[in-house]
Amino acid sequence: MELVAGCYEQVLFGFAIHPEPDAGGDHEEQKWTPVADFTHHAHTASLSAVAVNSRFVVTGSKDETIHIYDMKKKIDHGALVHHNGTITCLKFYGNRHLISGAEDGLICVWDAKKWECLKSIKAHKGHVTFLSIHPSGKLALSVGTDKTLRTWNLVEGRSAFIKNIKQNAHIVEWSPRGEKYIVVILNKIDVYQLDTASVCGTITNEKRISSVTFLSESVLAVAGDEEVVRFFDCDSLTCLCEFKAHENRIKDMFSFEVPEHHVVITASSDGFIKMWKLKQDKKVPPSLLCEVKTNARLTCLGVWLDRVTDTQESLPSAAESSPVSKEQSKINKKEAGNVVQEEERQSIPNAKKCDLTGDSNKPTKGNTPVSTKKRKMVEMLEKKRKKKKI
């Protein structure tokens, strides 16, 4: 198990986590030990997003690139250069696909084996601020600075619905079973049911929300511009418990399960990453498993679990039916005023194969990521060209 965290200082940290032998057999008192494993300095600006699958960690940055780090070999695997704007969100689906969103308004679907750009979608008129993939892999939701919530049919590769929302949302997240989803605007969380696509309740946090993670189908952990983490019940909309996690605002949060442990990880501007063991009763605050001080201003967080394979290998093919067709037809009738339209039934155009030349000396077929050195040369040439035009 390995903690990975990005920061303003352009570095990706990796910490191997070693569970201590549990002499007394009491898992409640067990402590884990974090050990510094690697630092990866590939970006030329602060890191803004991180995603992990069973082999790779990918990082997005304000330098407009996505860098790939091979966790098995502990080496740089190259960069993806397709976006023109800060990378705002990265999500893996299984081991075969990566989806990225950026301030250029694009959502890109990548083959995570060959590292080719399979689709490039002009998703929002403004920035793409967040995206989330349905557990089935057949739907995705995105929010942007154009005050819209958009539903994507990933089976057919097209936009399904656009819903106008009153303000710019900055987080959208599916629940673990995909029966509900939440949309975050400032300090408010709107809870939606998939079958009606309407708001069934609103949770209000004290400060602006920076991160959320579902602990179960109905329990949501919420962190923001403060030191406290709160657990909310999405059905009753009540706060189950709260606890002080850090000395400064919390920037990101992540949860996962391993045998005998359900864990929440928090990263803060105070430079600490902390791992918390959840109790069965979510009304009881979690206990601290371990903490590590990075001396950096942390921005994003992930966990690499050394597993052989993920249960979801890849996005479903068009032959499989999608929940979008049944559920969203209900939505169209039920919420005609809120849903702007069903998009024209044209497929999202295939992007040209991204120019991803390899970082080895051998000639390649254009299906491997570009090296950092080559990318920087390309960027310099681009800047010179722009100056000449001026």
Q: Are 93 and 314 in contact (CB under 8 A)?
A: yes
User: Rounded to whole angstroms, how far apart are CA atoms 154 and 292?
Assistant: 39
pLDDT reading at 363 higher than 50: no
How many beta carbons lie within 10 A of that of residue 284, not counting itself?
13
- Mean pLDDT for the chain overall: 82
Mention every residue, 6+ apart, whose C-beta is less than 8 A from residue 212.
171, 173, 182, 184, 189, 220, 221, 222, 223, 253
**Domains of the chain by residue range:** 47-304
316 or 84, which is more confident?
84
Mention every residue, 6+ apart, whose C-beta is less than 8 A from residue 28.
277, 287
**Token representation of residue 295:** 């001396």
User: Rounded to whole angstroms, how far apart are CA atoms 63 and 229?
Assistant: 31
pLDDT at res. 20 = 74
Predicted confidence band of residue 334 (pLDDT cuts 50, 70, 90): very low
- For 42-87, the pLDDT digits (tens) are 999 999 999 999 999 999 999 999 999 999 999 999 999 999 999 9
pTM of the model: 0.80
pLDDT reading at 109 higher than 80: yes
Rounded mean pLDDT, 110-129:
92
Lowest mean pLDDT among 35-44, 152-161, 281-290, 330-339: 330-339
Predicted confidence band of residue 323 (pLDDT cuts 50, 70, 90): very low
Residues in a beta bridge with 49: 60
Counting residues of the chain whose pLDDT is more than 90, the rounded percentage is 67
Q: Enter the CATH code of domain 47-304.
A: 2.130.10.10
375 or 351, which is more confident?
375
Predicted confidence band of residue 259 (pLDDT cuts 50, 70, 90): confident
The secondary element (H helix, E strand) that includes residue 88 is strand 87-93
Q: How far is CA 239 from CA 5, 24, 205, in A?
A: 28, 34, 9
- For 4-16, the pLDDT digits (tens) are 999 999 999 999 9
- For 195-244, the pLDDT digits (tens) are 888 999 999 999 999 999 999 999 999 999 999 999 999 999 999 999 99
pLDDT at res. 322 = 44
Helix (H, G, I), strand (E, B) or coil at 330: helix
Q: Are 128 and 106 in contact (CB under 8 A)?
A: yes
**Nearest alpha carbon to residue 273 among 281, 265, 283:** 265
pLDDT at res. 247 = 94
Helix (H, G, I), strand (E, B) or coil at 71: coil
